[in-house]
Amino acid sequence: MNEKEFDYKGSALNGFLMFFLVMAMYAGSVWTLIKGISAFDNGLPASLWFVASSLLFIMAVTASCGFSMLEPNEAKVMTFFGKYVGTFRKNGFYWINPFMSAKNVSLRARNLNAEPIKVNDKSGNPIMIGLVLVWRLRDTYKAIFDIDTAVSSTEQATGSAAARMNKFEKFVAVQSDSALREVAGMYAYDGDDDNEVTLRDGSDEINQKLKAKLNERLAMAGMEAVEARINYLAYAPEIAAVMLRRQQAAAIIAAREKIVEGAVSMVKMALDKLEEGQVVQLSEEKKASMVGNLLVVLCGDEPAQPVVNSGGN
């Protein structure tokens, strides 16, 4: 745990017990008010009754502001007149000093599905790349006090905790954009070297690098990246057609290499079988002609058209 963050050690009373006590204060305020009115009507001194009623009512209203309820994976960052006094994490219904100021935060994991952005890879090619990120708050002190999370009056009306988490999400979105650009610039989209890590086939290493870069940037705000991975990768539209033709050409060349390799193996096997079985004796010239014909048949795109010698002139 960070040295600036610590658990709240102040009093936290059972909320249900305090609820009945506050209700008793309200009832006592009403009872003393009635007694004061009765004394005033009978011509008796009533000032003390009215003062007691007012004090009980003020105490009840003030105490009513101290109730707090926390669900699992939620926390309250407590301050006392501007001084940080700890982070309250106990789940349930409690009563805390109403003069404490509490800022609610969620410790639950959250998703960020970033829209694809255009960046240049290591080779300078423009590409479109996007990521999905799972993040959460780790250090509530940094999250609240080290970055700007102030909420407006309009946002407070809709729930200050939700508005504050929205500000955290915007911070994470900006930092994830920056980290994604940095990591994408370290690798090429694709490469000819099988040992080279590329964006297209080096997902595990790149995802780990992306997560590490994100944690470096999010640490200042008390956040951590639980998981980060690239979920979209493509060439930018202006070069997509050209790079597609390049990939198709590379695929055709690779396929041709396999075809030629297989054809040569089959021709060699055919010649060896003919010699072993002494089916026919071929001169070197005939062998060369046969090899040429077999290679044409095996490597051609179209089916071979046999020529049948009928013995005519």
- Please check whether residues 93 and 186 belong to one and the same domain: no
Q: Pick from 78, 104, 130: which residue ends a domain?
A: 104
Strand, helix or coil for residue 304: coil
Rounded to the nearest integer, the mean pLDDT of the chain is 82
Query: Highest mean pLDDT: which of 53-57, 160-164, 269-273?
Result: 53-57
How does strand 74-80 pair with strand 67-70?
unpaired
Rounded to an integer, the average pLDDT of 61-72 is 91
- Please check whether residues 130 and 221 belong to one and the same domain: yes
- Please check whether residues 280 and 202 belong to one and the same domain: no
Give the Cα separation of 211 and 214 in Å (integer). 5
Residue 5 lies in a domain: no
Domain span at residue 179? 110-235
Residue 249 lies in a domain: no
- Please check whether residues 98 and 114 belong to one and the same domain: no
Q: Pick from 45, 70, 104: which residue ends a domain?
A: 104
Q: Total structural domains in the chain?
A: 3
- Please check whether residues 184 and 273 belong to one and the same domain: no
Q: What is the pLDDT of residues 108-164, one digit of tens each?
A: 999 999 889 999 888 888 889 999 999 999 999 999 988 876 655 455 444 467 788
Give the model's pLDDT for residue 157.
Answer: 41
- Please check whether residues 157 and 263 belong to one and the same domain: no
Residues with Cβ within 8 Å of 88's Cβ and at least 6 positions away in sequence, in order, are 7, 8, 12, 68, 70, 75, 76, 77, 78, 96, 102
Contact yes or no for 133/201 (Cβ under 8 A): no
Name the more confident of 84 and 269. 84
CB neighbourhood size of 294 (10 A): 18
Residue 288 lies in a domain: yes
- Please check whether residues 151 and 216 belong to one and the same domain: yes
Backbone angles phi, psi at 107, to 5 degrees: -100, 10
Residue 311 lies in a domain: no
Weakest mean pLDDT among 112-116, 172-176, 289-293: 289-293
Give the Cα separation of 286 and 293 in Å (integer). 10
Comparing CA positions, the residue from 255, 287, 293 lying closest to residue 271 is 287
First to last CA, the chain: 99
**Distance of alpha carbon 190 from its chain centroid, rounded?**
25
Threshold 0.75, pTM exceeds:
no
- Please check whether residues 160 and 210 belong to one and the same domain: yes
Strand, helix or coil for residue 74: strand
Whether 276 shows a pLDDT value over 90: the answer reads no
Confidence bin at 263 (pLDDT 50/70/90)? confident
Give the model's pLDDT for residue 280.
Answer: 65
Contact yes or no for 32/114 (Cβ under 8 A): no
Residue 116 lies in a domain: yes
Residue 48 lies in a domain: yes
- Please check whether residues 42 and 70 belong to one and the same domain: yes
- Please check whether residues 74 and 118 belong to one and the same domain: no
Confidence bin at 282 (pLDDT 50/70/90)? low
Contact yes or no for 93/13 (Cβ under 8 A): no
Residue 181 lies in a domain: yes
- Please check whether residues 186 and 271 belong to one and the same domain: no
Q: Pick from 63, 86, 104: which residue ends a domain?
A: 104
Q: What is the DSSP letter of 118?
A: E
Whether 1 shows a pLDDT value over 50: the answer reads no
Residue 313 lies in a domain: no
* CATH code of the domain in which 181 resides: 3.30.479.30
- Please check whether residues 164 and 205 belong to one and the same domain: yes
Name the more confident of 280 and 116. 116
Residues with Cβ within 8 Å of 13's Cβ and at least 6 positions away in sequence, in order, are 94, 95, 96
Give the model's pLDDT for residue 158.
Answer: 41
